[in-house]
Chains A and B, each alone.
Chain A
Amino acid sequence: MSEDIKKIMFTVRNAPHGTIYVYEGLEVKLIMAAYDADISVVFMDDGVYALKQGQNTDELGIKGFEKTYGVFVDYEIENVYVDRKSMEDRGMTVDDLLVIGEDEDTEEPIKPKVIDSSEIAAMMAEQHNIMSF
Chain B
Amino acid sequence: MKLAVCIYEGPYNHEASDSAYHFIKAAIDKGHEIRGIFFYHDGVYNVTKLMEPPQDDRHISNRWSELGATGIDIVVCIAAAKRRGIVDDVLVDNVRISGLGQLTMMAIEADRMVTFGD
Contacts and interface: CB of A to CB of B under 8 A. Distances in A.
Contacts of A35: 101, 104-105, 108
Interface stretch (A24-32, A42-50, A95-103, A109-117): A24-32
Contact of A32 (B8, B40, B100, B118): B100
Interface in A96-133: 128-132
A37 B108 contact: yes
A49 B6 CA distance: 25
Contacts of B79: 24, 27
A117 B103 CA distance: 27
Interface residues of A, number: 17
A31 B104 contact: yes
Interface in A30-62: 31-32, 35-37
A28 B101 CA distance: 9
Interface residues of B, number: 21
A67 interface: no
A132 B107 contact: no
Given A129-B113, A131-B113, A28 B103 contact: yes
Interface in B41-83: 41, 79-80
Contacts, number: 50
Contact of A37 (B8, B99, B107): B107
17 contacts: A21-B8, A21-B118, A27-B79, A28-B103, A28-B104, A31-B99, A31-B103, A31-B104, A32-B103, A32-B107, A35-B105, A37-B104, A37-B107, A37-B108, A129-B107, A129-B113, A131-B6
Given A31-B100, A35-B101, 15 more contacts: A6-B108, A8-B107, A21-B41, A24-B40, A24-B80, A28-B40, A37-B104, A37-B108, A129-B4, A129-B107, A129-B112, A131-B6, A131-B107, A131-B113, A132-B115
Interface of B: 4, 6, 8, 40-41, 79-80, 99-101, 103-105, 107-108, 110, 112-113, 115, 117-118
